Structure 1
Amino acid sequence: MPRITTNDGVSLHYYDEGEGRPVLLVSGYGAPADDWALQWAPLRAAGYRVLSLDRRWAGQSDRPAWGQRMSRHGKDIDDLLTALDLREVLAVGQSMGANTIWAYVSLCGTDRLAGIATIDQSPKMVNTPDWPYGFYGLTDENLGTFFTTPEAFATGHGRPWPDPVELDAAIKAAGGLGAASLITPDTYPLLLDHSRQDWRDVVARAEVPVLITAGAQSQFWPAEHAAATAALNPKATSTVFEGAGHTAHVDQPDAVNERLLAFADSVRTGS
């Protein structure tokens, strides 16, 4: 079972299979690395080394009583890439996993990266006059209390969520252990910190190709966030997946895999 120990003493589990240029898959809030099982085989078959990280408090990684902030999660990515001496990495993040990558870039830059792809994550969660693409209903006025109850995630927008039994079966059929997320009050400080961040300046300064994607029927925010985010950086492009919600990589895995592979190949060839 591959593991690394972070510089604050936390043991993180990751999957590492395949050969070729590395692709790092970073899951969302509470989700295990197994959440990416529907991407593993297509990426490996295309000649990529596929790594999936269980972030702290997720999957098979440690659950310490510290580090519930985005900057620490970004540093965890740095610890992984440094420990394995990975370079020319395509970093792919879904939901909070995407902003974890931006936290890493904010701290460490893009020297170890070849490209960045995000799946349905607004770089700014709070809605403001200059950014109406945040989490539905989240404003500066209610920021401190908005995510204190599970009802916040029932926005009334978007497509129905995937059936958990069917999703778990699909993940297991693809080689994962299951799709169960671990969301507890212990991790609410991380969610609050996540909701307060604005990564637009980091996106704007990224020095590698960037792909911003959205689910057309996201439960959390308007799909227009993808084009608005891509407009911040001339190296960025955007894609909206029709028929997909926030978890586009499991709602429409074939479409997501095709787009990720096309982006990965363009990064590899420099086209």
Structure 2
Amino acid sequence: MASMFHVPMPSENMGYSFAPQAVSGEPKQHSFYPLSADIPPSLRYTDNGGSTLGITGPSFCILAGDTRSTSGYNINTRYAPKLFRIGGSGPTNKSSKLVLSVVGFAADGKALAERLDLIVKMYKYQHGKEMSVSACAARLSHVLYNKRFFPYYVHAILGGLDEHGVGALYSYDPVGSYEREQCRAAGAAASLIMPFLDNQVNFKNQYIPGSGVGEGTSRVMEERKRGESDMGEGEVMGLVRDAFTSAVERHIEVGDGLQICVITKEGIKETYVELKKD
């Protein structure tokens, strides 16, 4: 009887797909590094260059991005949009009032934009109303976080108008952490553009001439509470052009063209401005 209930040990050839191995040597650490030379070129991530930025106002939100796509020192194309309309209706996203900017690995950026666009359109079909920018921001955070173990290799910025008609801008890291900001730059030239925006939009490091006394942040924040110092759409458009005109002089991965989307209560107005091509 005992033989009828005999359970063979693993060493008795149960057809296991693996064999026990002795552990020897130093432990090996596994990490995620998408640009590693150890990964086959066909599977390796590539930073396709370019930069994006976003600035909000009292009744508008402006996002902009250059159109150059690079791989190292090579230019893949001079027109690769980094701004995508989200929601609305049809393949052209008619009547959309949300814009997503993505910079980093172009294939991941396009895949993320298509996925978020599908989510927003399904929400409209299921609930009979447009998804708010705050709800879309939270949903995008979930999408990125769910891919955290093999993340979208992009820096995303989402723009729109909130429930009060005020410009809303949300910036993300690749795994979904996000915050609402008044301005944000991302991509290859972010280290050049962001200090400019900090100074001109957030009024940081501005001083009374010859005194060494700061007049920027505290004064401007008090004025903004009273609604007296918000910049107009024309002034912000000038800052956007100045930021990219300066960036292309100092960064080889930025240039060719500038795509600008202005979001207002009337909808999205898109413009294109030529940049340096060398």
Query: Structure 1 or 2: larger strand share?
Result: 2
Structure number with bigger Rg: 2
Higher RCO structure (Cα 8 Å, ≥6 apart): 2
Query: Structure 1 or 2: larger helix share?
Result: 1
